[in-house]
Amino acid sequence: MRRKKQMFNEEQQKAIETIKGQLILVACPGSGKTTTLLGRIHEMIQQGVPAENILMVTFTTAAAGEMKQRFWKKYAEDGMVTFCTIHSFCLATLKKFAHFDAECVLATGDIYEFFFQQLVRHKEIVDKVEYIKALLLDIAVCKNSMCPLAQFEPNCGEKELFDELFKAYENWKDALGKIDYDDMLLKAYELMKNDKTCLEWLQERYQYIQIDEFQDTNYLQRDILYLLAGENGNIAVVGDDDQSIYGFRGAKPEIMLKFAEHYPNAISLHLSMNYRSDRKIIECASNLIHHNKERFDKEFLASHEEEGIVHHQTYNDIDAEQRGLVKMILEKKMSMDEYRNTSILYRTNKEAVQVSDLLITERIPFWCTEPIQDKYDHWIYRDILSYHKLGNGIGNKMDLNRILNHPQRFLFDSRFFKTDGSLKQLMHVAATLPDGKWKRSKAMDSVEDMFYLFKKLEDKNPVDTLKILESFGRYKIFLHDYAEYRNMSPGELYFYWNSYKADAEKHNDWKEWDAYVRKHKIILQEQLRKHDGIALSTLHRSKGLEWDRVYILNCVKNTIPFAKQGTVEDLEEERRLFYVGCTRAKKELQLLSYQGNSGEISPFIKELKSSESDTGDKVDLDVHLKY
């Protein structure tokens, strides 16, 4: 039985009834995109398209599963439509036509183990887990953008080391006869291009293609999908160029913007009506995104009559901002259901650390969309402990090796790491270096200075230990230098150092601080296991979610927008990311910033008030200053 047209608005119904040829559907946040996509599939089947000829591509396994369940629940009699990710489609193609199987795909743990082995001799890489994570992202971007290795500039660190590890990784996979997730796409694309039988079979099977979140497509994914659809196939791409926020993964919003250039006969439709947020939230978000130039010109309309709340509050420093956040939450006197309908959003993972600490202290329930690393599991804290132990004669060889070049002392000869840790043996290695007299002298001075530092740390409490490490030990300078080596913002490492300094001031001795650290770990783990209460999330992870009340923290320059953005394209992506965060709110959007400690209110706050092209009245954005 056909579904009644009045279940959809006019825009949605037009998209549903546009079945043949090419379609680009630009869908604003909260516009009923998924409902429309499922209704369009149902319409195809009602018009006689066999379910097995329909391919629905999404870009996460969770999204594919959720969409499949919703379709079966609404249209149980429609048959077996294929819902899948681009990766699962490519793996299925390789299984059928190239005799691959799931055993051919490398496990993530094996990949990490390989790179750990490769990095054993690279003592200069301190945060190996984070480095490997960034390295694998760079490898994926290089492959998915189909960029020659010689021309690719990595973000994880030095180009020379990246190239060395990339080549070693490819050789290792070839020797094992294994592939990774990026290889799935590359090999499937080559197969489809070169095997006529394969491509003809796929095109005959999947005659109607829908692609969700098309704004997050990269060049390789685009080429696979266009090849599958053919020059005049039935392909519908759906997304919102204003929500393209994965440029760091290789996503290119211009792919969606240029769809009509590739398919000049494509029909373009818009879903403009937002069914999620109150009017003021929509108006502010629309003003903000209109400051971007590279985008589709579109309307963004509110279906709700309620005005809603958009409120900006600024403080004199980041600590006051965090305390102000907690105070606002406590003053609401929320029920458990209200907690569940509230979120706290931030730009980077590390910002969750301080927020979670404050929520734990005030016994406010929360969960997080991704793991929160306890700040005391960070390598900087392990360095502090190692220095404390070595200064008090209770350190071991592992402690010495950990801090040997923190700060940089250029003690890289492998023999330094094989001594018993005594001054005598270390001086012997330094005196017998094969690199020339001046290098031997420099190494001996470095060893002596290090042991002098150990002496200064003897019997020192936590506060004094950190002061000595920062001044005589040059440790904060080391953090700055290491951040530059890793292409990071120094502030990412300073955050941990300053947090430890603040905590050290609360504890008189190491025993007391250690007890606090142990208790902190247990409480954080217990809270996260409950998975209930206020949602903590990065702006990236908030995409696709919604809450009645949203707080966005640290709306300050160099955080929002992020410090590493340098080009116009980078700034536009940062603006899109803030736009995504703002449009998660249904009823209330609270924006928090600070002006002290080098804080400067984000330019995006001003942009919320009026669009660049707007000549009419500005939106009245409530602003309160709190000191």
Summarised one tens digit per residue, pLDDT across range 232-274 is 999 999 999 999 999 999 999 999 999 999 999 999 999 999 9
* Alpha-helical regions (H) of 258-378: 259-262, 279-289, 318-332, 336-340, 351-361
- What value does the mean pLDDT take over residues 442-450? 96
- 466-476 residue pLDDT tens: 999 999 999 99
> Does the pLDDT at position 462 exceed 90?
yes
- CATH fold of 301-365+532-608 reads Rossmann fold (3.40.50)
pLDDT digits (tens, 9 = 90+) for 588-599: 999 999 986 666
Average pLDDT, integer, range 602-608: 95
pLDDT at residue 619 in the model: 53
Tell me the average pLDDT across 118-135. Answer: 92
Q: Is the pLDDT of residue 626 over 50?
A: no
pLDDT exceeds 70 at position 572: yes
pLDDT confidence band for 617 (50 / 70 / 90): very low
Structure confidence by residue, pLDDT tens digits, 65-80:
999 999 999 998 998 9
Sheet of 622-625, strand order: 366-368, 534-538, 342-346, 547-552, 585-594, 309-315, 622-625
pLDDT digits (tens, 9 = 90+) for 287-340: 999 999 999 999 999 999 999 999 999 998 888 999 999 999 999 999 999 999
- CATH topology for 10-99+184-269 is Rossmann fold (3.40.50)
List residues bridging with 585 in a β-sheet. Answer: 547
Q: Say what the pLDDT of residue 373 is.
A: 86
Q: Can you give the pLDDT at residue 5? A: 45
DSSP string, 459-501: T--HHHHHHHHHHTT-HHHHHHHHHHHTT--HHHHHHHHHHHH
- What predicted TM-score, i.e. pTM, was given to this entire model? 0.88
- Residue 506 phi, psi (nearest 5): -90, -5
Nearest-angstrom CA–CA distance, 7 and 557: 44
Range in 202-216, 354-368, 387-401 the model is least confident about = 354-368
User: Tell me, which fold does domain 377-520 have in CATH?
Assistant: PCRA; domain 4 (1.10.486)
- Say if CB 41 and CB 80 are below 8 A apart: no
- Residue 443, Cα to own-chain centre: how many angstroms? 41
- The pLDDT of residue 612: 62
Residue 82 has pLDDT above 50, yes or no: yes
Q: Are 440 and 430 in contact (CB under 8 A)?
A: yes
Whether 615 has a pLDDT exceeding 90, the answer reads no
